[in-house]
Structure formats: structure tokens, C-alpha cells
A and B are shown apart, each in its own frame.
Chain A
């Protein structure tokens, strides 16, 4: 299942770790992940007889992954009162905090690509919100310049704290050929804490992108994800929440816009592991040209999850005949005291709406564009960070303007 990368050996990992003055435990975690590579499969992709909806095994990682040319520009903006630190500074200054949390939510050996990320990550951010602190906005901006970049984001929130995070990924100067971006995000949601983590993936269309964002939520806590995918050649993005505390909640909001020959494989998964938990999954995507979207949403209600509420909606708008949209919204229900539903639709811009607008004097192209923009409203409404709302709206407009 896995691929053997000639460029990566124990030496590579040791050198990477030494160059960053890492403590022994972190080096050991990296080496464990490296060793596990041989055994681990690629991330799950949806398969129906005769079809794999996304094929990752065919990617030429050999030509893209270059552990020593990981260069990026990073900016951080944050309120006072919380720690937002570059990963390695955090390891120095808050070692026990990082040590406890690192790998506690995302198992590095979840699959081949998470292990590769753990073994090779060179950059990242640690956000720590102490008890009772309300941190408004944290912004992390990563511009990738090298052939490959492995990024790690760790968020730890204490009891009754709150934070809103926006993480953006972009590519800088042009490179010939493909590149690979890999990002892991783990969020420890404390008791009664609130986290909204939004990400805007706007990499160039030569970039292959793998991301896993995973949260654990304690009692009364809430962790919301906003997962916006605009860029990349191929994206495999997984957003996962484990509702481990009673009365915990999550909202998982997804938005994507695929054009040209982009391929988005998006999944959103929630595990209801405790009582009175609530999940709301909303994803809206537009695909155009020869783009392809693959969506999987899983609502998993455990045996002990009494009084669960779990809802999922997924809607895809197809603007072109060459595009393809695949969806599989799954319900796994092991407790009968559950209210769960999912719905999914795929279709074109509503012809009646279009007709109505045209009858009011709006020309067809403008009317269509307005309807596509309007399609994202249920997603936009969930985004707390104004910058993310504006950027998503602007990217959508740009794409619509560029349509022939």
C-alpha cells in the first residue's frame, strides 16, 4: 500500500530534528512515525465497485517531497493574553504543554500521509488559550515556497476559554512542476471552551494538498470547523470531531469551488461518544469545467451516546457538463435515542430562479453569478471571521468573472 521514499531515511529525520534543537521525545515521535510508514495504508478513499473515487497511491511523492527545502513565510496575528507561538519556540518555552498535547488528538499513525507529516514537519504553530480567556481572532498565514511543506498546528484550550482562528495556506513564487503541502491540525477543546477554527486553502493549482484536522471536545465544549478549499490540483482534506464530553457540540462547515481539472476529496466525520451531544454538518461546493468533487460525511453515534442530535446537509452545484460530483453521506447509528438525518443534493443552478431574475431584467450571466454567490450564503452565515467571509466571497467572484 505505502510507497518507499528514497529521499527519506532515519538520517533525514535526525538531521531535521537536530537542526531545530528538538528534545529527544519529539525526535522519537518522528522516528516512530517514520518506522510505521512501511506498514501504513493511504487515507481511506471511497470505493464503489470498480471505482476508487480518489487515487492517492498514484501520486509521485518521490518527486515532490524534499525534506530539506521546506521554506515558507509565516505571519501570526493574535490578541494579547494568549500564546501563539511558532512550533519550535513553543517546544522550548512550553515544553510540557506541547509534549502532553502533541499527537494526543491526531494519531500520527492514522495513515501513511499523517505519519509522513509527523516525521517531516518543519514548521507550525502552537496556540494556547488559558482558562477563562476569550481570545478574539488569531490569524496564521503560511506562504509555501519550496517543493514540499509539512505544517503542524496545535491548539489547546483550557476550561471556559474561547478563540477564533483563521489559518490560510498560499503558495509563493512559481516553481516548475508539482509540489506537495501537508498539514495536520489538532485541537484540544477544553471543558466549556469554544473554538472556531477556519482554514482557507488557496494553494496554486500545481500543488497536491493533504490535510487532516481533528478535534476532541470536552464537556459543554464546542469546536467548530470551517474548511474552505479553493486552490490546489488535488486536495484530500479530512475534518474530524470527537464529541467526548457530555453536551459537547460541533459545527462542521465546508465550502469548495473547483474549476479547471481540480480534484477535491473532502470528508467530514463526527463521533458522538457521550450524552446529549450535537453535530451540524453543512457543506456547499461548486464545481466547474472538468473539476471533480468527492464528499464523504460520516455521523457516527456510539452505543453510549444517549440523546444525540446529528444533522448533515451537503449540496453541490454543477456548472459544467464535464464536471463530476460524487457524494456519500453516511449514518452509523448505535444508539436509538438519536435524532439523526442527512440530506444531499446535486444539481444545476435552479432554472426557475434564473428565469425569475431574468424576468426582472437581470441578464443571464449576472443572474447566474448572483445565484452561485447566493448558494454559499448558508456557509457564509456560519463563519465568524470577517476576513474569511470576505476572502471566500472574493475568490468565488474572481472565478465567476474568469468564466468564459
Chain B
């Protein structure tokens, strides 16, 4: 454990995320979004006809839907102009679907991921790694012991080719249909890359699998799709990491995540996103949990200019459980609008949501959540806890939960608090010899501990380090 920590401490996290690379692409689509662009992407990927059809239908839905503007206090999206986005960039790499030996990666891409610490993490703690550079997965590996048990971990483009039946059934049909919202439709039209995870019945993958997404080019959009299917009584932990350097024009990230948690299965989806501060991060992530299944979302939202992200779970089978743990950190110029959605559609379902947010230097955090308990979902219970910490008077912290309760035999509780960093706490730590900055950092570390303790150590260390960096900005 200590060696991992040392490794991550030695790497300057800022340098890890902020460096830029010359753009080197084999294929780059035109800016903007037309039917022609979609056809070109689909053709370049050699996709079956049904996928092209789905893309085109999603495009039509995207064109028909208005931009979301009517939510109270929602982030400003007026700058998001799809016509300025390059939706698809295929990096210059020969092997479609990525290489499976790290050494086979082109040097500049390898260098990128080395800096991000990906190979190190793979060696130490993971069952498999996928790395996406721009729109394509460039590296993909799954440890043999899992492959032998029938676990599949590959990029989505390859899954379309190799597992068409499973993908056709699950891809943007029941979980996140393109009609769900404008950005889901956009995603359905131009998605590219992402991960496909399939865990057979009664199989426990006891080390996490990880995908890392890197946006390197200016003015691009990244639209990776993640599809996770955990069959009955299986268990898997999937981790996603994201980053992009900062350019002057904006980037758009509009990913789609669909998770199918079958009877008795257990899926944990963890992510720490650290997009650059000109990225609009507009995602749709959803899980369907069957009888006695458990879905866990653990997410840290650090980067981006504006984030609108509300991972949701549909508790479809009796006894299904959902846990959400989220942390949001908004610094200068950032608007992190994030929360959780849970639909209790069956009896004896249970959900807990724990949300922590930190706003600083004029940043805004908002918890926007929805808990819906359907008629007939008796003996369901939900508990929502939101705590916000504010550093200064330029910042804003909002809480907007929505509760729709159609069933009486339920236990619904929501609680939220907002406060500033406690002067007494700082004073106490100072009296023990810490300086002001260290005291504040320690308080923040304690504040987010419920999140970090759910993450594998590498991620926990990274999250703490990122927050330290963010805080140093004004504390130093």
C-alpha cells in the first residue's frame, strides 16, 4: 500500500493531468453534426446496419429535442454549440480495438498514460485495463484468469462486432434510450469507444476493472459508451477515470453508461472525473437492478466547467438495493450540478444517497436529486444525506432534492446541511501545531472520508491529492 501511495505522491498530479500532446490523428471527422458525419463514423468503424440505424434515429431525436434550459438554477449551456465540436477522432494506431501489450502502444500515447499512472495501477491492483485516447480505445487488457471464466472486458466498438446479440439487446434500449434527454440522443448518434463488461453467472471478479478516458485534442467531443452486464449472482467493480488538458475553446464530454444488474448480482461503478475546466460534462448514467441485486455508484466530480450528471438506478426487482456516494468540488468558474436519481419500482427496495460537496473561489455546487417511490413499492426505504462545505463568500451551494412518494408503507428521509469550514476546528488543529492550510486540508480530507474509503487506495490517494491541489490554489 505504501509503495502505491509513494508512487502517486511522487508524480506531480497537476503535471499528470495538464500536459498536452500534439494532435496526431489518423482520421478526424468534420466539425458539427450531420447525417453524413454519422455515416462516416459508422463506416469507419465497419458497423453493422442496425447500429447505423440506431445512430440515425438518435440523431433525429437529438435534432428535435430542445436544449434543457428550464430547470431551476441549472448550469448555463449557452456556449455549447454542437456545430463547433469535432465528434470523432481516431488516433493514429494500427490495431483497431487497441493493443493488448502496453509496449505496442505508440510512444506518445504510451507516454500519456504513463504520466497518468495507468500501467502502474494495472500492475498493482486491477483485473483489467482499457485506455481510450480521443474516440478510440488504444489499449485493452484483461487478466487471463478472468478471461478463462468467461468474463468479457473489451471496447464497445469491438463488442459490436464480436457480441452483436448481447449489444443489440442492451445498447440504448431499456436502460438509457436516446429519447431520455438531449445529450443522451447526441450520445446515441455519435458514441465512440468505451467499455463493454460482461460477467457470467456466479462469477465474482474480485479485483476492479478499469477504463481510462483521455481527451487530448482541442474542441473535441468525447462520447464513450459503457455497457456493463452482470449476470445472476455475479460481482464486479468497474472504475472509470477521465481527464483532458485545458485548451482555449470548450470540449464536450457526453458519455453514456448502462448497467444491468441481474438477480442477486452486485456492481460497483466508481469514477473520479477530472476534465479540464473548459469541458462541459453532460452524461447519462443509469442502472437497472433486478431482484436482490445491488448497485453502487461512487463518484468524485472535480474538473469540468459545468457538469450535469445524475447517475440513476431503477430498482426494478423486489429487494434490490442502491447506494450512491458522491463528492463534488467546484472551484473558480465551475458549476458542478450533480446528484442521484432512484426509482423504487418494486417492494422491499432500499436506497441510500450520501452526497458531499465543497465550493470554493466562486464555484457552485448543487445537489439535484430525485427519489421516486412507485405505488406498490411497499416496505421501501430511502435515506438521503447531503452535506455542503463552503470556503468563502464568492461561492454558492444549493440543494434541490425532489421526492415523489406514491406508496404509504415506506420510510423516506432526507437531510441536508450547509456550513462553512469550522473556525473552531481550524483553531483546534492549529493549536496542535498545524498551519492554517494544513488544518483546512485535514478538515476537508475528514469531510470526504466517507467517499475515499469506498475507493481503491490509488483512487483515494488521487482524489485527496487533487483536492489538495485545488485548495492550494487559494490557500497557498
Contact at A333–B413, with CB atoms within 8 Å? no
CA distance A332 to B399 in the complex (A): 7
Nearest neighbor of A44 in chain B, beta-carbon distance: B72
Cβ of A403 under 8 Å from chain B: no
Cβ of B392 under 8 Å from chain A: yes
Contact at B414–A343, with CB atoms within 8 Å? yes
Nearest neighbor of A336 in chain B, beta-carbon distance: B390
Contact at B388–A324, with CB atoms within 8 Å? no
Contact at A343–B73, with CB atoms within 8 Å? no
Report B388-417 residues with CB < 8 Å from chain A CB: 388, 390-393, 395-417
Cβ of A362 under 8 Å from chain B: no
- If the complex has contacts A321-B375, A336-B393, are A330 and B403 also in contact, measured as CB distance less than 8 A? no
Nearest neighbor of A350 in chain B, beta-carbon distance: B411
Residue from the list B396, B403, B405 in contact with A333, Cβ < 8 A: B396
Cβ of A111 under 8 Å from chain B: no
Nearest neighbor of A322 in chain B, beta-carbon distance: B375
- If the complex has contacts A332-B398, A333-B397, are A344 and B403 also in contact, measured as CB distance less than 8 A? yes
When distances are taken between beta carbons in the complex, the residues of chain B under 8 Å from A330 are: 72, 398-401
Report A296-349 residues with CB < 8 Å from chain B CB: 303, 316, 318-348
User: Chain B, 54-91, contact with A by CB distance < 8 Å: what is the 0/1 string?
Assistant: 00000000000000001011000000000000000000
Cβ of A46 under 8 Å from chain B: yes
Contact at B406–A331, with CB atoms within 8 Å? no
Residue from the list B370, B411, B416 in contact with A48, Cβ < 8 A: B370
Cβ of A51 under 8 Å from chain B: yes
When distances are taken between beta carbons in the complex, the residues of chain A under 8 Å from B378 are: 321
Residue from the list B408, B410, B415 in contact with A342, Cβ < 8 A: B415
- If the complex has contacts A321-B407, A336-B395, A346-B403, are A329 and B416 also in contact, measured as CB distance less than 8 A? yes
Contact at A327–B393, with CB atoms within 8 Å? no
Nearest neighbor of A292 in chain B, beta-carbon distance: B406
User: Chain B, 226-267, contact with A by CB distance < 8 Å: what is the 0/1 string?
Assistant: 000000000000000000000000000000000000000000
Cβ of B7 under 8 Å from chain A: no
- If the complex has contacts A48-B370, A326-B403, A331-B399, are A344 and B393 also in contact, measured as CB distance less than 8 A? no
Query: Closest approach, in angstroms, between the C-beta of A345 and any C-beta of chain B?
Result: 5
Residue from the list B400, B409, B419 in contact with A340, Cβ < 8 A: B419
Contact at B418–A343, with CB atoms within 8 Å? no
When distances are taken between beta carbons in the complex, the residues of chain A under 8 Å from B416 are: 329, 331, 341-343
When distances are taken between beta carbons in the complex, the residues of chain B under 8 Å from A347 are: 408, 410-412
Query: Chain B CB within 10 Å — which of A324, A329, A346 has the most?
Result: A346
Contact-residue bracket for chain B: 35 or more
Cβ of B96 under 8 Å from chain A: no
Residue from the list B390, B398, B412, B418 in contact with A341, Cβ < 8 A: B418
CA distance A341 to B375 in the complex (A): 29
Cβ of B163 under 8 Å from chain A: no
CA distance A346 to B72 in the complex (A): 24
Residue from the list A324, A325, A339, A343 in contact with B419, Cβ < 8 A: A339
CA distance A322 to B408 in the complex (A): 8
Nearest neighbor of A347 in chain B, beta-carbon distance: B411
Residue from the list B404, B411, B414, B419 in contact with A326, Cβ < 8 A: B404
Nearest neighbor of A300 in chain B, beta-carbon distance: B398
Contact at A46–B412, with CB atoms within 8 Å? no
Query: Closest approach, in angstroms, between the C-beta of A380 and any C-beta of chain B?
Result: 23
Cβ of B420 under 8 Å from chain A: yes
When distances are taken between beta carbons in the complex, the residues of chain A under 8 Å from B411 are: 347
When distances are taken between beta carbons in the complex, the residues of chain B under 8 Å from A337 are: 393, 420
Nearest neighbor of B370 in chain A, beta-carbon distance: A48
When distances are taken between beta carbons in the complex, the residues of chain B under 8 Å from A51 are: 404
Contact at A348–B370, with CB atoms within 8 Å? no
Contact at B418–A334, with CB atoms within 8 Å? no
Residue from the list A324, A332, A345 in contact with B414, Cβ < 8 A: A345
Contact at B410–A346, with CB atoms within 8 Å? yes
When distances are taken between beta carbons in the complex, the residues of chain B under 8 Å from A325 are: 403, 405
Nearest neighbor of A321 in chain B, beta-carbon distance: B408
CA distance A377 to B453 in the complex (A): 41
When distances are taken between beta carbons in the complex, the residues of chain B under 8 Å from A53 are: 404
Contact at B405–A348, with CB atoms within 8 Å? no
CA distance A113 to B91 in the complex (A): 59
Query: Closest approach, in angstroms, between the C-beta of A349 and any C-beta of chain B?
Result: 10
CA distance A334 to B397 in the complex (A): 7
When distances are taken between beta carbons in the complex, the residues of chain A under 8 Å from B417 are: 340-341
Report B150-175 residues with CB < 8 Å from chain A CB: none
Contact at B403–A327, with CB atoms within 8 Å? yes
Contact at A324–B420, with CB atoms within 8 Å? no
Contact at A338–B420, with CB atoms within 8 Å? yes
CA distance A79 to B430 in the complex (A): 59
CA distance A320 to B407 in the complex (A): 8
CA distance A49 to B308 in the complex (A): 14
Report B79-126 residues with CB < 8 Å from chain A CB: none
When distances are taken between beta carbons in the complex, the residues of chain A under 8 Å from B390 are: 333, 336, 338
Residue from the list A49, A324, A342 in contact with B405, Cβ < 8 A: A324
Contact at B409–A321, with CB atoms within 8 Å? yes
When distances are taken between beta carbons in the complex, the residues of chain B under 8 Å from A345 are: 412-414
Contact at B408–A348, with CB atoms within 8 Å? yes
CA distance A331 to B415 in the complex (A): 11
Contact at B400–A326, with CB atoms within 8 Å? no
User: Chain A, 353-387, contact with B by CB distance < 8 Å: what is the 0/1 string?
Assistant: 00000000000000000000000000000000000
When distances are taken between beta carbons in the complex, the residues of chain A under 8 Å from B403 are: 325-328, 344, 346
- If the complex has contacts A328-B402, A336-B390, are A348 and B396 also in contact, measured as CB distance less than 8 A? no
- If the complex has contacts A344-B413, A346-B410, are A329 and B401 also in contact, measured as CB distance less than 8 A? yes
Query: Closest approach, in angstroms, between the C-beta of A95 and any C-beta of chain B?
Result: 40
Nearest neighbor of B360 in chain A, beta-carbon distance: A336
Query: Closest approach, in angstroms, between the C-beta of B145 and any C-beta of chain A?
Result: 43
Contact at B418–A333, with CB atoms within 8 Å? yes
When distances are taken between beta carbons in the complex, the residues of chain B under 8 Å from A340 are: 417-419
Nearest neighbor of A325 in chain B, beta-carbon distance: B405
When distances are taken between beta carbons in the complex, the residues of chain A under 8 Å from B419 are: 338-340
CA distance A320 to B393 in the complex (A): 45
Query: Closest approach, in angstroms, between the C-beta of A233 and any C-beta of chain B?
Result: 20
Query: Closest approach, in angstroms, between the C-beta of A342 and any C-beta of chain B?
Result: 5
Ranked 5 nearest A-B pairs via Cβ: A336-B390, A318-B408, A346-B412, A331-B399, A336-B420
- Ordered by A's residue number, 14 sampled pairs between the chains whose C-beta atoms are within 8 Å are A53-B404, A318-B410, A319-B408, A321-B378, A329-B399, A330-B399, A331-B416, A331-B418, A333-B418, A336-B393, A340-B417, A344-B403, A345-B413, A346-B403
User: Chain A: residues with CB nearer than 8 A to chain B?
Assistant: 46-49, 51, 53, 303, 316, 318-348
Q: A48-B404, A340-B417, A342-B414 are in contact. List 14 more A-B contacts (CB 8 A).
A: A46-B402, A49-B181, A318-B408, A321-B407, A329-B399, A329-B416, A331-B400, A338-B419, A339-B418, A345-B413, A346-B403, A347-B408, A347-B411, A348-B410
User: Chain B: residues with CB nearer than 8 A to chain A?
Assistant: 70, 72-73, 181, 370, 375, 378, 388, 390-393, 395-420
